Amino acid sequence: MQQAQSQGQQHPIGLYLKIWALLFVLSTLSYLVDYFHLEGALRWSLILIFMFLKAGLIVAVFMHMMWERMALITAILVPPLCLLVLIMLMASESWWTFLTRLDFFG
Partner 1 sequence: MSQTDSKAEGLKGLIEDWASDQRAFRVPWGKAMMWIFLLSDTFVFSCFLVGYMVVRISVTEPWPLPTEVFALTISGQSIPLVLIAIMTFILITSSGTMAMAVNYGYRQDKIRAACLMLVTALLGATFVGMQAFEWSKLIEDGVRPWGNPWGAAQFGAAFFMITGFHGLHVSIGVIYLSIVALKILAGHYEKAGNYQIVEIAGLYWHFVDLVWVFIFAFFYLW
DSSP summary character for residue 78: S
Taking a C-beta distance cutoff of 8 angstroms, is the pair 55, 27 a contact? no
Q: How far is the CB of 1 from partner 1 (least distance, A)?
A: 9
Binding interface with partner 1 (CB under 8 A): 4-5, 7-13, 16-17, 19-20, 23-24, 27, 30-31, 33-35, 37, 44, 47-48, 50-51, 54-55, 58-59, 61-64, 68-69, 71-72, 75-76, 79-80, 83, 86-87, 90-91, 93-95, 97-98, 101-102, 105-106
Q: How far apart are CA 95 and CA 80, in angstroms?
A: 23
Q: How far apart are CA 92 and CA 106, in angstroms?
A: 20
Q: How far is the CB of 53 from partner 1 (least distance, A)?
A: 10
Q: How far is the CB of 102 from partner 1 (least distance, A)?
A: 6
DSSP summary character for residue 45: H
Q: How far apart are CA 28 and CA 21, in angstroms?
A: 11
